[in-house]
Amino acid sequence: MERFSSKSSPATMPNDALGRYRLLSELGRGAMGHVFLAHDPEIDRNVALKTIQILGALPEADRQETRDRVFREARAAGKLMHPGIVTLFDVGEADGMLYLAMEHVQGETLDAFCKPDRLLPATTVAEMVAGIAEALEYAHHVGILHRDIKPANLMRVSEDRAKIMDFGLARAVEGQVTQDGALLGTPSYMSPEQIRGETLDGRSDLFSLGVVLFELLTGEKPFPGDSVSSIIYRIVNEPPRDIDALAEKVPGALRDFLKRALAKDRSDRFPQGGAFAAALRQSGAGVEMAPADPLGQLDGAIPDETLPPRRTSRQKMSPSKPYVAVLLMLIAVGAAAWVFRDQLPLDKLPLDFLRTEPRIVWLETTVRTEPPDLPLLVDGEPLAAAAGGLVRFAAEGDPVVISTHQGCRTVEQRLEPADAGGEVVLLVESERFVGTFDPGVQGATVSVNGKPAGATPLDLKLDLCEPNALIVSADGYRDATLNLPAQARPVEVRTALAHLILEPIPLGKLVLGDTNVSLVYYIDGKRLSHGVREIDLPEGRHKIRFKNDTYWIDETRTVDIVGGRVATPDLNPPPLATLVVQAFPANCKIFLRKPGGRWKYLDDTPARRQLAAGTYDVRVTFNPTSESKDQTVELVPGANAPIRVSFSGGS
């Protein structure tokens, strides 16, 4: 959008006219229109006249419908008659060209007073911004939002008064004249709900005005950032720059006011411009804001008789035809026409376009990338560096596609007539994620794609070009998993990690009963202390091993623990059997094993031992010759037949 300076020195050109308007000098120009200082002879006054050439770029079938909608929206904006709003006087068509005539004012835009060396007194700023808020309430009352409140759209016309410009860009709240989801506004001044693409009301404009107030008082933006993505992230997710740290620049009452004006939730902000203005004047006078909600006292800040009747009609438009959005953006350019500093006489300007319409309409737009300096392609061909990001394209015919890439990410966009005269930003998100991951459990182990990544809190690094599978484990918690698809966005990863929660496993109680022999217990491989008969265990299946080496008892059982319940499993050991071994000669050793196990020394012959009933391999070895004899026995509970072994060495 064009931005114009504020002063003019008209140069008379009596032979040039558009409709009934006599063109005096050019105030400025854009890609699709010119702004002139013009004279209206019927009422003998000078106006700022904006010409629009966009209809020639539209298909013939859409021109009449588009023309009608432009007239309808311009007439809505033309009803705004308020000393704080630049007035739109007329909309018309002459020589095949649309034009808008509006109030011509002089002054200086407020962005000049946002510089640290040109800050205005706090009382002056408070009164001026309060007046702007009252003008906004007037517009909101008839259902019209501005959507782009910023210092460059506010003209200071006296010591403590300013006028709102560019209300031609505003869309009636109930009129669907732009495509759903379109972001109209300047990122640094947009409200959180505007960034999220939600339905807007007047509180969005008041949030933007709160940002302007912050900047006028401090010379700094409340949501700074070195890129568009960082700015909009801070507006939506982070508090504004520390207001209390600016005590030297901003009185305490104004700091309290700003905290409310910049609230993330619109329900926490001022409901109307009148309430905003009344509270701001009170704060600007140095009076601390009352803690109670004063809205009931502020609703009548602007008398009802000063407000026009509310609009009740509802306008609808197919979202498939966005041309009106283009025209409304041009209207916004025209609203600033009167602020050009340097004027050019018409006799030095090419004015043939007022009389003829070219068959091919060429448009231009500036394209840049975020991050900066990424390669730019136009229809797949590199854009020359010498072009400086300027792309020229025809208004009709095959669409031009611009694109850029970084790593695995590619972003492309089709250029539309609405893009002409402005700037298109191709935002390429990082293909890497770097951030701290802390699920709230100290020391939880994290694996990424099957490989250990460390313990929490963890500095996590992910290659987002590839899919990523995370598993988080901690004692006493259920494993948490997160599967990220390839090309996930950093904000999606950050959000997913923030919602990754380790769920505690509920505990149940294991109670060990009494047994007829002493046993040593192992729970999931860990030895249980002697004498402990009760233990809390996480819900799930556990292994319980119990041993007695004297009686050759070594068994493992499983038990299912349920959270909040007591488990008393049957862990009784097998009954005891008696093993008797006799050898001749008696000078022998006895070895024992369970089938498949290892041999262990048991005793010398003759021997009588109690063992757990079951199957055993018995080996008797004659000491003098080391001759051995083996046999397998099945020991039953109680007494068993003796095992008798003899060796030839004895007689």
CB under 8 Å to 521, separation ≥6 — which residues?
512, 527, 528, 544, 545, 546
Query: Where do runs of H (alpha helix) occur along 222-322?
Result: 228-237, 252-261, 273-284, 295-298
Residues 36/19, Cβ–Cβ less than 8 Å: no
Query: Where do runs of H (alpha helix) occur along 477-614?
Result: 490-498
Pairing of strands 154-156, 108-109: antiparallel
Q: How far apart are CA 211 and CA 584, in angstroms?
A: 106
In Å, what is the CA distance from 505 to each residue of 228, 302, 497, 634?
43, 60, 20, 44
Q: Residue 256 has what DSSP assignment?
A: H
Q: How far apart are CA 140 and CA 93, in angstroms?
A: 29
* Burial annotation 563-583 (CB, 10 A radius, 16+ → b, else e): eeeeeebebebbebbbbebbb
Helix axes 273-284, 202-218, angle to 10 degrees: 20
Query: Is there a catalytic annotation at residue 604?
Result: no
Count of beta carbons in the 10 Å neighbourhood of residue 153: 28
Helix axes 252-261, 273-284, angle to 10 degrees: 160
CA 437 from chain centre, in angstroms, equals 17
| Tokens 């950032």, located at residue | 225
Query: Which of 16, 68, 117, 148 is flagged as catalytic?
Result: 148
Residues 86/163, Cβ–Cβ less than 8 Å: yes
Structure tokens that stand for 425 in this block: 């930003």
Helix axes 252-261, 202-218, angle to 10 degrees: 150
What three-state secondary structure class fits 329? helix
For 87-132, give the DSSP string.
Answer: PEEEEEEETTEEEEEE-----EEGGGGSSGGGPPPHHHHHHHHHHH
Could you check whether the bond before residue 371 is cis, i.e. omega within 30 degrees of 0?
Answer: yes
For 201-247, give the DSSP string.
Answer: -HHHHHHHHHHHHHHHHHSS-SS--SSHHHHHHHHHHSPPS-SGGGT
CA dihedral 74, 78, 82, 85 (to 10 degrees): 30
Q: How far apart are CA 149 and CA 135, in angstroms?
A: 12
Nearest to 83 by CA among 170, 146, 143, 162: 162
Could you check whether the bond before residue 642 is cis, i.e. omega within 30 degrees of 0?
Answer: no
What three-state secondary structure class fits 82? coil
Q: How far apart are CA 161 and CA 155, in angstroms?
A: 8
Active site residues: 148
